Chains A and B, each alone.
Chain A
Amino acid sequence: MSSMTFGRYSFRNTFIHNLDARNKIFLMLLFMVGIFFQFNMWSTALIMSGVYIVILLALMLISRVSLWSLIKSLGGLWMLVIFLMIIYIFVPTNNPKLPVAFTIGSLEVHWDAFCQAGYIVMRLILMISLTMILTSTTKPMDMTYAFEWYMTPLKPIRFPVHEIAMTLSIALRFIPTLLDETERIMKAQASRGVDFNHGGIFKRFGAIIALIIPLFVSALERSEELANAMIVRGYDPRAKRTRYRLLRFSWRDIIAFLFIGGIFAGIIVMFVFDRKNPIDIVEFFFHVKGF
């Protein structure tokens, strides 16, 4: 559990770490929107997926987020991946463009179903990876300030902007602590004979209860003590506060904006081109037919 790095900020002096949190959030959302553009031709989708993966790997390299830690974090998603695969494979495809892969009785399963499932899983992984890059390169406090900044227009209607941002920041700050706590409780319960890894669904459910209840009790106790610690140090959500850390845009933010903005513009161009004049890019460039 302690090996899980998802959501855990790690201090490094990289280009991405030094970007303004507001810019990082905006660019991440922009890239995510780009990823979700749907292309007509599978060949275009395949090529664009390759581009996204290359960009993601480049971002990971620049931010020095380890690929191995990403793979470990994604390990828990295999159930979801299998579920998505089954759904997409056995739901009949509208207007299939690829040949039939196999038939089950009267149901024809086209290669499109596999492509669609793979494409969805790839998008999911990309989204998680981008979020991971954001959280591991941005201090929770900076993230709070950024969200608060984005929600500023809601302040005049008395929307609890600061409270929401602070709650979010504390939630992010406590992820590693609660993961460690979970690991401790799992070990304590395992030493009393609770088996988290074997047995049927009911036995496993019982084991999870043995983990969840003490974890909730502990989290509630922690939250009370944290609230007391905040009050003692003069925190009042409605009072004015100064800030230790000020968010400032720099030349790095302009470069990052131009880079991701350029990619987004490229995605839109490809999308429009694909909609208006759908051609098989693989066939067009590599003269390979049938994809």
Chain B
Amino acid sequence: MSKLEIKNLSFSYDGSNKVIDDISFSVEKGTFVSVLGHNGSGKSTLAKLIVGLLDKAGGQIFFNDVEITEKNLKDLQTKTSLIFQNPDNQFIGSTVEDDIAFGLENRCFPHDQMQAEVERFADSVNMLDHLKKEPINLSGGQKQRIALAGALILRPEILILDEATSMLDPKGKSTVRKVIDRIHKENKELTIISITHDIDEALLSDKVLILNKGKLVKEGKPQDILRDESALLEVKLDMPFVYKIEKELKEIGINSNAETIDQLVEDIWASK
């Protein structure tokens, strides 16, 4: 059963230039989808349209086969969470625990159960020891993990990551990615839509969507789409590092169809 279905979605900020132009795709329950595209391709706008932060100009959004309209938009919003790029701009509480609890307060969650819930979700992102800390005293990676806990505590069915790791240093990026991977493995029902510039990160997803000038130009499995270098270059994207090395290796007679660096290293060793 399709979880999220987008049909002929369009949007324009000024009424004339379409930022999202007649996009249609569907996302299955529990999948990890990456949305790729260069700057200004409409990725973040698409995320905001899905969660109802922007009003669509045309098209339809279906969630669990029910069309989302103004009347039932709140229902969709209670089942989706969006994590933004800049961790500083989404920290509402004055301390880690206040921030994680913010969503629960809005959902009228019983006060006597909140503490346990906050601790549970802080623990799930390895931030249990930092509950009393202020945001200013946390690293970018830690802040983004708090944002993740604040989003997951609302038990969303769809989690959208809008370039959630792009402002982080390599260490922060790696820890946040590990947490996201673990959460996705533990929660098979959770659908994750990751909007990213990182082509190597997209390689690990179940499905890839490529946007260019507001249009959906490619859709499919990352193994099929991300090997097509010329098609990627047309939309100003690069090939994943693993595929680039594979291409170079092929020229010297080493064949590999690896999807990860580890597999690639094994293939190189096996060819010797």
Contact = CB atoms under 8 A, between A and B. Distances in A.
A64 B147 CA distance: 31
A9 B134 contact: yes
Interface in A201-244: 221-222, 225-226, 228-236, 239-244
Nearest to A10: B134
Contact of A232 (B82, B86, B89): B82
Contacts of A226: 89-90, 92
Interface of A: 8-11, 139-141, 169-170, 172-173, 176-177, 180, 221-222, 225-226, 228-236, 239-246
Contact of B98 (A10, A141, A170, A230): A141
Given A225-B90, A233-B150, A244 B106 contact: no
Nearest to A176: B136
20 contacts: A8-B136, A11-B132, A11-B134, A139-B94, A139-B95, A173-B92, A173-B93, A173-B94, A176-B134, A180-B136, A225-B86, A229-B84, A232-B77, A232-B80, A232-B151, A233-B92, A233-B154, A234-B154, A236-B106, A242-B111
Contacts of A8: 136
A243 B109 CA distance: 8
Contacts of B90: 225-226, 229
Contact of B51 (A180, A225, A232): A232
Given A222-B89, A244-B114, A232 B134 contact: no
A30 to B, nearest CB: 25
A102 B110 CA distance: 70
Nearest to A221: B89
A222 B106 contact: no
B270 interface: no
Contact of B133 (A11, A231, A241): A11
Contacts of A239: 106
Interface of B: 48, 51, 53, 77-78, 80-82, 84, 86, 88-95, 97-98, 101-111, 114-115, 118, 132-136, 150-151, 154
A141 B98 CA distance: 8
Q: Which 8 A-B pairs have the closest CB atoms?
A: A244-B101, A229-B90, A234-B106, A225-B89, A233-B103, A140-B94, A176-B136, A232-B82
Nearest to A245: B98
A139 B84 contact: no
B97 A244 contact: yes
A177 B77 contact: no
Nearest to A166: B92
Given A239-B106, A240-B108, 14 more contacts: A139-B94, A141-B98, A173-B91, A177-B136, A222-B89, A226-B90, A229-B82, A229-B84, A230-B92, A234-B78, A235-B106, A244-B97, A244-B111, A244-B115
A225 B90 CA distance: 7
B138 to A, nearest CB: 12
B94 A225 contact: no
B55 to A, nearest CB: 13
Contacts of B118: 244
B77 A229 contact: no
Contacts of B151: 232-233
Contacts of A234: 77-78, 103, 106-107, 154
B127 to A, nearest CB: 15
A180 B88 CA distance: 11
Contacts of B88: 177, 222
A229 B83 CA distance: 8
Nearest to B133: A11
A230 B81 CA distance: 11
A176 B108 CA distance: 30
Contacts of B80: 232
A244 B104 contact: yes
Most chain A beta-carbon neighbours within 10 Å: one of B101, B105, B107, B132? B105
Given A232-B82, A242-B110, A244-B111, A139 B98 contact: yes
Contacts of A243: 105, 111
